[in-house]
Structure 1
Amino acid sequence: MNRRTAPRLLATLALTASLAACGGTDDEAAGTLTDQISSDLSETPDIPASEEPAPEELVVGDVVVGDGAEATEGTTAQVKYVGALYENGEEFDSSWSRGADETLPVPLGQGVVIEGFEQGIEGMQVGGRRVVTIPSELGYGAQGAGTAIPGDATLVFVIDLVSVD
């Protein structure tokens, strides 16, 4: 190892540690989806179908890192979102479809929404856009939800954090 190799090794280890600390993974599917989502917060994001195997753990990736207040347990996050099925990108719900200014209040730590959605919001800052891929166990499980979400479905949400109360 020479003088140039050591700093590179340290930088790589620091990056790996920071990804692990965020609760996300460096899963290739996360990077691919994050790279395909628009960073323009004024437009409805499109979620493409994925050709990668569905992840078995929650995968979180920031498209835009916000610089406002942080969403933490005990706060209420006002979010805009689009939800789609991981395998085919078929949209099943969207606050955007109800109007560009429509938000969903999510009181963090109260279990009002599915576990993976809530976990995906925690740590976001106002002005951020995040892709959250949710395995079935943190979503609707084997029962699914109505006709739009089949049992054992992996879900993808693009979430914009508008405000924190």
Structure 2
Amino acid sequence: MIRSVILLPLLLHGACAFAPSSSHPRQQYQSTKLNQMFPETAALEIVDEAANSSDPFDSYQPTDAQKTIAIKDTKIGSGYTVGEADSQLLQIKFTSKFVGGKFTANIKEFDVPSMVFKTGEQRCLPGLEEGIQGMKVGGIRAVKVPPNKGYGDSWYRGVVPPNSHLEFNVELMSIAQNPGEEFKMKLEQFGVERAIGATVCFAYLALSPLFEQQGGL
């Protein structure tokens, strides 16, 4: 009886040694052997994982093969969002510089303290308008734009060479939410003093025929 009690745990322990294991030496050997037979397969898997984890902004290449924009937020805004409605009137400010090539300095002509435009009216560079989608008011974003979504294969105002890749640093200042806000934004962009001067000129032109008639009488 005592022998049975002593032998039972030993038998159970021995049986565990025959239980299947997920890390069986034979399985590991087969996996190793396959990797040795087809080393390029393992290499491709590693490359794919690295490519998938890379940042499109950091991996942006200023070459002819680059056809898509790349963005990186440096500050997340709050409130209204670009793209949550059609035909939004936006106010942005931005600077720009070349990506790659021999031109590296900021483009002074593109140091814009205020630009007002309505989305969908093609009044903004296609790549830049695409790049600010999803931004919230107060947000700051870097947008890299390839030539096919920028100024293409022609010179632009004698400043941007053909096939230039550009990087914009954009801040979304405001999004108008009603006609009153749109009017105020356009007025500020045009300039209050210029608006007053233009109003006076239009008023004079409109009233001058009446003054002439009264003078003739």
CA distance in 2, matches of 1:64, 1:31: 17
Q: Does 1:80 align with 2:97?
A: no
Q: Does 1:26 align with 2:43?
A: no
CA distance in 1, matches of 2:136, 2:77: 5
Partner of 1:90: 105
Partner of 2:158: 147
The answer to which structure has the higher strand fraction is: 1
Larger RCO, structures 1/2 (Cα 8 Å, 6+ apart): 1
Amino acid at match of 1:161: L
Secondary structure at the aligned position of 1:118 is classed as: helix
Does structure 2 retain, via aligned residues, the 8 Å contact 1:80–1:159? yes
Same amino acid, percent of matched pairs? 23
Amino acid at match of 1:150: P
Distance 1:65 1:31, change over 3 A: farther
Q: Give 4+ residue runs of structure 1 displaced > 3 Å after superposition.
A: none
CA distance in 1, matches of 2:147, 2:55: 20
Count residues in correspondence: 117
The runs of 5 or more residues in structure 2 that have no matched partner are 1-51, 177-217
CA distance in 2, matches of 1:151, 1:69: 36
1:137 corresponds, among 132, 148, 154, to: 148
Deviations 1:46-85 (A, max 9, x none): xxxxxx7324311011111111211123101100100111
The answer to which structure has the higher helix fraction is: 2
Q: TM-score, normalised by structure 1?
A: 0.64
CA distance in 2, matches of 1:90, 1:56: 23
Partner of 1:59: 70
CA distance in 1, matches of 2:67, 2:118: 26
The runs of 5 or more residues in structure 1 that have no matched partner are 1-15, 20-24, 33-51, 96-101
Root-mean-square deviation (Å):
2.3
CA distance in 1, matches of 2:114, 2:79: 17
Partner of 2:186: none
1:31: Cα distance to partner? 4.0
Partner of 1:5: none
Does structure 2 retain, via aligned residues, the 8 Å contact 1:78–1:106? yes
1:138: Cα distance to partner? 0.2
